Amino acid sequence: MVQKLLALAQDETCDDDSLLRAIAEATPYKQKVGTATFWVETGGASRGLDNRFYVDITNIRYNFDSVELMKTLRRLKTLPLFQEFRSTIAGTSCHTNAWRIYFCTEDIPTNLIINNHPVDQLRFQGVTYAVYAKLYTPSRRMYIKNKRLEWHPDNMTLKQVISALQEADQPEVSPASQQVQLQEAIQDMTPESLTLAQRVKPEELWLGLHRSPLQGNVTLSTLYSDDPAGFDQTVRLHSWHRWIASSYLPHSTTFLQGFRTIFHDKPSWAYMQAICGTSDFIPPAPAGANATTLLELEDALSVFELWLAVQMNWLHKSDAWLLYLTSKPVVWLPAQRSVRMLSPTTLFALLHSDLGRKVVSQLSASHPGKWTSILEAIISSGYSYQENSMLLFVPGDSPSLTFGTPLLY
């Protein structure tokens, strides 16, 4: 073969094609053959099947094995009837390259229903495809909330909705018995916020209120009515959380690390109470504050923020709402491993807004006492700190709180 190639290469009368054919014959590996895949549209040939249930598998690839898919659907006992390629889905212009599969039944096959929701995804031969069922309408799927599986009515049949309503409206269950059941449930609840306050876990307390605002509302209300001392302890812990966060602006740190850096000791409730009892721990209340001490004023702001967290926790997730309600820039106190908090300037602005006055009015009616009285006095006097001023710790041999305007971000 080499001799033949040499002869052809040296022969001036040999054309190019002859030499190339000889080279190809001498190649020691099998030649590859190019292939192409063609899609043929059926047009309106399948209109007679439109009364059957079908699914559209979108964005299919050139090597989509429709034969193997039909075999798989048959093994699943879904009774596939016919399949075809469709360039677009009727009524849309974005889902191209769709493979439609018709089934024998007019309703969706049982094996194509997952968690009461039509199948919307297909993992086939290592590729994930989006699947749209006949008469597809987007709806919320099931989701996890408070470690419980929650269902949306859009994912329930009419019979399931009626059954759920009937169970919730049992005539034999009187409001009085429901109240008894609610009280029993509350008594069985562990006062987690009080436990976290005793263990000095402000970040877990603040994060827990945002994760479960309904349970947090019940817990705070129960503490307020049944254990005022426990409620005050929870409030004071949140005030400490705010002070530590303010002291490190514009940076953020954990409560434990911040406390250790400032006080050179591990935080404990007894130690923190002893510090608060010293005469030079906090400045005197400014004129016009309408509070006995500045400590009470700070705690009142913490009370206001705690109630906002369990009743309107969306405020801590949106700058836009706060800008709309206060008409002022929003300043946050960053918190590692927890949810950010509002600065005193923003809390005062929110307190003096129409929403703040409404919230305090409702709190005064449902939870009358010292804290709501202080909040009402602040609103009536229009009092607030100086712009961007907040209490923070000054490092030293005996750290104490003082007003400052840290570099905000």
Task: Please check whether residues 11 and 61 belong to one and the same domain.
Answer: no
Residue 190 pLDDT: 47
Task: Please check whether residues 265 and 336 belong to one and the same domain.
Answer: yes
Residue 110 pLDDT: 84
Residue 37 pLDDT: 52
CATH of the domain at 80: 3.30.70
Cβ neighbours of residue 56 under 8 Å, at least 6 residues apart? 86, 89, 95, 98, 99, 100, 131, 132
What length is written for the chain?
A: 409
User: Does the residue 77 lie in any domain?
Assistant: yes
pLDDT in tens, the chain (409 residues): 556 755 765 676 777 667 557 666 755 555 455 555 545 455 544 555 677 788 888 878 777 887 888 888 888 888 787 777 766 545 554 445 788 888 888 888 888 887 667 888 888 888 888 888 887 655 444 444 555 555 556 556 667 667 666 665 555 556 666 566 556 545 544 455 567 777 888 999 899 888 888 888 888 998 899 889 999 999 999 999 999 999 998 888 899 999 999 999 999 999 999 999 888 888 887 776 666 789 999 999 999 999 999 998 888 888 888 888 999 888 889 888 788 999 999 999 999 999 999 999 999 999 999 999 999 999 999 999 988 899 999 878 888 999 998 865 4
Distance in angstroms (rounded) separating the CA atoms of residues 350 and 382: 12
Q: How far is the CA of 83 from the CAs of 47, 121, 130, in angstroms?
A: 13, 18, 17
Task: Please check whether residues 124 and 225 belong to one and the same domain.
Answer: no
Closest C-alpha to 238, from 329, 170, 161, 303: 303
- Helix H, strand E, coil C: the string for 312-334 is CHHHHHCHHHHHHHHCCCCCEEC
Domain extent, residue 354, equals 191-404
Q: How many domains does the chain have?
A: 3
Distance in angstroms (rounded) separating the CA atoms of residues 43 and 24: 44
Residue 409 pLDDT: 46
Residue 71 pLDDT: 81
Task: Please check whether residues 348 and 275 belong to one and the same domain.
Answer: yes
Task: Please check whether residues 349 and 279 belong to one and the same domain.
Answer: yes
Task: Please check whether residues 65 and 8 belong to one and the same domain.
Answer: no
Task: Please check whether residues 81 and 224 belong to one and the same domain.
Answer: no
User: Does the residue 33 lie in any domain?
Assistant: no
Task: Please check whether residues 55 and 12 belong to one and the same domain.
Answer: no
pTM: 0.55
Show which of 133, 157, 180 is a domain's final residue.
Answer: 133
Task: Please check whether residues 336 and 256 belong to one and the same domain.
Answer: yes
Inter-helix orientation angle 294-311/344-351, to 10°: 70
User: Does the residue 390 lie in any domain?
Assistant: yes
Task: Please check whether residues 127 and 272 belong to one and the same domain.
Answer: no
Task: Please check whether residues 261 and 390 belong to one and the same domain.
Answer: yes
Residue 189 pLDDT: 47
User: Does the residue 6 lie in any domain?
Assistant: yes
Amino acid at 57: I
Using the structure block, give the residue that is written with the tokens 């402000």: 202
Q: Are the C-beta atoms of residues 326 and 349 closer than 8 Å to each other? A: yes
Residue 90 pLDDT: 53
Task: Please check whether residues 305 and 230 belong to one and the same domain.
Answer: yes
